[in-house]
Amino acid sequence: MIDRSQIAAVILAGGKASRLQQVDKALLPLHGKALIEYVVARARAESAEILISVNRNREKYEYLGLALIADYRDPFSGPLIGIASVMRALQGDNQVAGLKYLACFAADVPCFPTGLVSKLGSALDHANAEVAWSICNDQLQPLFSLWALSTLPEIETAIENGIYGPKLLIPQLKNVLVNFPSDDPAQFLNINTQASYERAKSLIEA
């Protein structure tokens, strides 16, 4: 059984937001709080440590009091580099802290199921898998996933081969897909356009 003390979390906020005038999406206000604050609150309940993958405006994230990790190569190229960068940062500490897994969250998706990491962990443990990832109503959610830290070499090799998204790599690893069916239109709502931002304001409660 995977314990919360074995799990670190990364909130992926390292993109360019090219579809939203390149604003820093994670810092957009939603009912008086930045989007990332919603994600931090839920991630904190299910992980021993939280890190943020961020490549710009680092000073604007400092108020959160969390470790800020920049891409170790090819900044803004994709979330897989953010995942690898955080794993590399944890490498020196995981023996001491007992960390063995990395849970991933998207900074621009403020609403996702409570207990998501616990359910991913149970599935990963039961299947003896290397990564567990999410699906909701037939829509894959690869950024909501749980990875064994031991997958770092495979991730780095994928990056060397030009693979920058987890959706392309996960099927090459021993993986388990976990279903989170929902009739709530706010669940996994990705805020990447002005229209989706306005929709989130009406669907997601403060």
CB atoms within 10 A of CB 102: 26
Task: Give the domain CATH number at 31.
Answer: 3.90.550.10
pTM for this predicted structure: 0.94
How many whole angstroms separate alpha carbon 52 and alpha carbon 34?
14
Q: Which pLDDT tens digit goes with each residue over 20-46?
A: 556 788 999 999 999 999 999 999 999
How many whole angstroms separate alpha carbon 61 and alpha carbon 52?
9
Residue 204's pLDDT band (cuts 50, 70, 90)? confident
Considering its fold, how many domains does the chain have in total?
1
Q: Domain containing 55: what range?
A: 4-203
Rg value, the chain, Cα: 16
Q: What is the mean pLDDT of residues 155-181?
A: 97
CA distances from 129 to 21, 79, 106, 113, 119 (A): 39, 21, 22, 21, 13
Q: Which is more confidently placed, 199 or 15?
A: 199
Q: Which pLDDT tens digit goes with each residue over 78-114?
A: 999 999 999 999 986 555 468 999 999 999 999 999 9
Q: Give the pLDDT confidence score for residue 14 in this predicted structure.
A: 77
Give the pairing type, strands 29-30 and 175-179.
unpaired
Q: Which pLDDT tens digit goes with each residue over 120-161?
A: 999 999 999 999 999 999 999 999 999 999 999 999 999 999
